[in-house]
Amino acid sequence: MNAIILEKRKALQTLSHAAQEAAKDEGINPEEYKVNELLMMLIYNPDNEYTFNSFFGWKREGYTIKKGSKAYVIWGQPINRTRQDQQGNTKESTEDQESEPPFFPLAYLFRSDQVLKPIKLPKSDKKKIKMEVDQPSISIDL
């Protein structure tokens, strides 16, 4: 795996443990919540004032991400690992076999204060602007 990704995974593991400890300090049972929920409640959004979405989620809603915005990292959906036998055939691990734990990829989210909603001009304003650009003023000196 890429060194940068390994670094981010390590940082997210540390944040996950910190969120679980913070939950205990707040009197919240960490077993009742998923790790991502604890990260969102206690680390990334403690005042519950922001909405989070993925890059493509914001794009679908018509927003653009502000240049230079850094994403918040959470754990993604687990991926079941497949094993290869000696001939190179892939087999999904079953519960009978000694299986590896699922792989949790990283997921990246952006907050609502990191996005811009494009301003749509009325059609009449667009024509006016276009006309000004298409018909430059010409002055002739005699």
DSSP-derived secondary structure letter, 120: P
- Residue 79 is encoded by which pair of tokens? 């991926």
Please name the amino acid found at residue 94: T
Q: Is residue 78's pLDDT more than 80? A: yes
pLDDT, tens digit, for every residue of 79-130?
887 666 566 666 655 554 556 778 899 999 999 999 998 877 676 655 555 5
Average pLDDT value over all residues in the chain: 81
Alpha helices, DSSP H only, in the chain? 3-25, 35-38, 55-60, 123-134
Residues 6 or more apart from 77 whose CB is under 8 A from it? 104, 105, 107
Where on the phi/psi map is residue 123: left (φ > 0), alpha (ψ -120 to 50), or beta? alpha
